Structure 1
Amino acid sequence: MHTGDGLPVQTPPKTRPIKRHHTTRYYVHRVHESLTTRVSKILCSIFLGLLLVIGVVIFIVWLSLRPHRPRFHIRDFSVPGLNQVSGIDNAVITFNVTARNANQNIGIYYDSMVGSVYFEDQRIGSTPLLFPFYQEPKNTTVVYGTFSGATLTVDSQRWTDFKNALAKGSVIFRLELTSTIRFKISRWKSKRHHAHADCAIGVGQDGLILAVSKDKRCPTYFT
């Protein structure tokens, strides 16, 4: 190739790519690095797999052992002489409740239990119930009690309130059972919990529990 003045133009020679030759040490390092990566991945996979298995086992054990609250059902409740004008002289309230341990593998220790009866959110009676006892899994215990005398505070005005409510069809009472309980799994015992069962109960003209309230489950909560 020539320029305008007739002088030849020098064309730079074409260069070939330099072919690098890696040393043996380089290839050994690459192989070692590849093996390390693979071993790390295998170890991570094993670790994650173990975590998954342990998590599933713990979840299954939790499902099978998680404690259920005691289940209380009101079976009977009566106020004899409620339809009598002078019933205040012999005022008595009796009740019958069942406490059910629905757990499959967990027992319940009842360290104490107190029964209280309310009318229009005013407590009119309270008494200790049962004695400390242990309830086996899948077991039902009958709880019964009586409010009378010193354990029942009902004066003539309160009895009149009963009569006025009865004139409208029924008298609504509320029975509260307060228990101090512990759960038992094998040899392990939980800390103490305070369980409360609230039973709303309707009583009819004869002083007996109404059919709508009989065998009703009482809401239970912990504090």
Structure 2
Amino acid sequence: MPDSGGGCCRCCCSFIFTLGLTALFMWLSLRTSSPKCLLQRIYIPALDKTLNPPGNTTLFFELRLENTNKDKGVYYDPVNVTFFDNPNRNHSIGNFTIVKFYQGHKKKATKGGDFNASGLDLAAVSREISNGSAIFQVDMETSVRYKIMAWKTKRHRIMVGARVNISDQGTQVNPKKRIKLGSSAEMIGSSYGKTIGSLSLFFFLIYGEF
């Protein structure tokens, strides 16, 4: 008699293997990467010792936002940027909101703004600069949705920031170097979420339920 049990086993293994490959390909096509966020310029005329008389307390800045996804667009909600004149975030000197926008596949965007940093303690910051440099903090917060073919994902919150050393010219110490805005907690959560998501999808396709 033919070994029907062996053939059935091979058929089941082949079916499970095919489902596993399908889950893998779906995960690869649906997974997303967070935009890369950088501060590429900051300038405060009031701290620029080369100006005589010193400039006003307007703070100018530029962000560089990069969509690292090859085949997914990014819809940004309004982008809120806040500056502090110390790394402890206990003294905000002002903020600016960049209007919402769309960014295509692998596209880069430069978004800037300016505001009156009226909360800046010029005397204290100038003393720090005279001893080397003043340490500022910049935070960026927004939510994004990813466009995958004809549909959009749910909103993903982004909260990133970085410390910036300000020189006696009112700019970052190395003005030609872009400063990456990042968050270790966000990176861990993103990696964990993607891993759990891919495993959940895999078992859903095989067993039909979680």
> Which TM class, normalised by the smaller chain length?
0.7 to 0.9
- Of 23, 28, 34 in structure 2, the residue corresponding to residue 63 of structure 1 is 28
Q: 2:196 corresponds to which residue?
A: none
Alignment partner of 1:67: what SS?
Answer: coil
Residue identity in the other structure for 2:13? L
Report if aligned partners of 1:117, 1:125 keep a CA contact under 8 Å in 2. Answer: yes
TM-score, normalised via structure 1 length: 0.73
Report if aligned partners of 1:176, 1:199 keep a CA contact under 8 Å in 2. Answer: yes
Q: 1:217 corresponds to which residue?
A: 180
Partners of 2:75 and 2:174 lie apart in 1 by: 32
For structure 2, which runs of at least 5 residues remain unmatched after alignment? 190-210
Q: Which moved more, 1:189-198 or 1:94-103?
A: 189-198
- Give percent identity, aligned residues only: 22
Q: 2:162 corresponds to which residue?
A: 199
Q: 2:16 corresponds to which residue?
A: 51
Partners of 1:172 and 1:203 lie apart in 2 by: 6
RMSD of aligned alpha carbons: 2.4
Rate the CA distance shift 1:215–1:81 in 2: closer, same or farther, 3 A.
same
Report if aligned partners of 1:65, 1:104 keep a CA contact under 8 Å in 2. Answer: no
Q: 2:66 corresponds to which residue?
A: 100
Q: 1:175 corresponds to which residue?
A: 138
Alignment partner of 2:8: what SS?
Answer: helix
Aligned residues: 181
TM-score, normalised via structure 2 length: 0.77
Q: 1:82 corresponds to which residue?
A: 47
Alignment partner of 1:102: what SS?
Answer: coil
Partners of 2:53 and 2:130 lie apart in 1 by: 16
Alignment partner of 1:219: what SS?
Answer: coil
Report if aligned partners of 1:109, 1:132 keep a CA contact under 8 Å in 2. Answer: yes
Q: Which has the larger radius of gyration?
A: 1
Q: Deviations over 1:27-59 (max 9, x none)?
A: xxxx5xxx4xx2233122112212112212321
Offset, 1:147: 2.1
